[in-house]
């Protein structure tokens, strides 16, 4: 299927880039057509100086209705996994590569539909602005869409999962599965196994963060 070309979100960004300004401006974004069908844009949330930014694919049905990221079943699983990995939730900023919910209707249900690469690209200015403000030490991409949004279309989650890549802008980026993928596992045994792997990868993020904080460069960093 051919990719539709969208004008992108750049012109909808506020003149002064702060998280509150971005949060307000995103509701007026018309950079792609997803705003026509979603209830609202769902922007990222978390501390301004978050050490970790976690990026998912797009808001789900619960997020679209409530206006907050990661508040549905996948978000609850993520919260539990963070706790099991020893990561304080108030250190984490959560967001998505695409800010509007894309779905298809099945009766009264609205089911997630994967965004096109052109929609991810159109929404990219919002994500770039968030990262520019926060300057996290570690970015964790949840799922292939988020990973490719950060590291390019050639990135393959199955081959590069759990590896850390140093970013030109500073800090590191890694990728793992989206919590929703764990929930979709066909049986309880596989869900448990996938959850264990997920927690283990989050523990590696925690270890990486601790190493960065022990680094002699950390004390003199101008990024904070």
Q: Is 4 domain-assigned?
A: no
Specify the number of domains making up the chain: 1
Q: For position 156, which CATH number holds?
A: 3.40.470.10
pLDDT tens for the chain, residues 1 to 224:
456 778 899 999 999 999 999 999 999 999 999 999 999 999 999 999 999 999 999 999 999 999 999 999 999 999 999 999 999 988 899 999 999 999 999 998 999 999 999 999 999 999 999 999 999 999 999 999 999 999 999 999 999 999 999 998 889 999 999 999 999 999 999 999 999 999 999 999 999 999 998 875 554 444 44
User: How far apart are the C-alpha atoms of 219 and 221, rounded to whole Å?
Assistant: 6
Q: How far is CA 15 from CA 18, 142, 184, 202, in A?
A: 9, 30, 41, 35
User: How much is the pLDDT for 2?
Assistant: 55
Domain that holds residue 105: 10-213
Q: Is 219 domain-assigned?
A: no
User: How much is the pLDDT for 169?
Assistant: 82
Q: Is 222 domain-assigned?
A: no
Give per-residue pLDDT as tens, 204-218. 999 999 999 887 555
Q: Is 76 domain-assigned?
A: yes
User: How much is the pLDDT for 81?
Assistant: 98
Give per-residue pLDDT as tens, 31-49. 999 999 999 999 999 999 9
Q: Is 162 domain-assigned?
A: yes
Q: Is 30 domain-assigned?
A: yes
What pTM value is reported for the model? 0.93
Q: How long a stretch of residues is the chain? A: 224
Q: Is 17 domain-assigned?
A: yes
User: Of 46, 41, 114, nearest to 75 (Cα)?
Assistant: 46
Q: Is 86 domain-assigned?
A: yes
User: How far apart are the C-alpha atoms of 70 and 67, rounded to whole Å?
Assistant: 10
């Amino acid at each position: 299927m051919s990719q539709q070309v969208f004008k992108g979100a750049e012109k909808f960004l506020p003149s002064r880039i702060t998280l509150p300004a971005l949060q307000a401006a995103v509701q007026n974004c018309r950079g792609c057509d997803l705003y026509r069908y979603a209830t609202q844009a769902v922007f990222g949330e978390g501390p301004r100086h978050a050490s970790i930014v976690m990026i998912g694919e797009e808001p789900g049905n619960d997020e679209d209705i409530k206006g907050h990221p990661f508040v549905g079943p996948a978000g609850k699983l993520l919260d539990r996994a963070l706790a099991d990995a020893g990561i304080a939730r108030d250190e984490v900023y959560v967001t998505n590569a695409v800010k509007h919910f894309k779905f298809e209707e099945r009766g009264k249900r609205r089911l997630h539909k994967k965004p096109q690469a052109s929609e991810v690209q159109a929404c990219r200015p919002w994500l770039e602005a968030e990262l520019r403000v926060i300057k996290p030490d570690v970015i964790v991409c949840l799922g292939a869409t988020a990973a490719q949004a950060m590291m390019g279309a050639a990135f393959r989650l199955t081959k590069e999962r759990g590896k850390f890549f140093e970013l030109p802008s500073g800090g590191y980026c890694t990728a793992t599965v989206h919590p929703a993928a764990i929930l979709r596992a066909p049986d309880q045994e596989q869900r448990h196994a996938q959850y264990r792997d997920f927690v283990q990868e989050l523990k590696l993020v925690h270890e990486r963060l601790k190493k960065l904080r022990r680094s002699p460069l950390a004390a003199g960093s101008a990024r904070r």
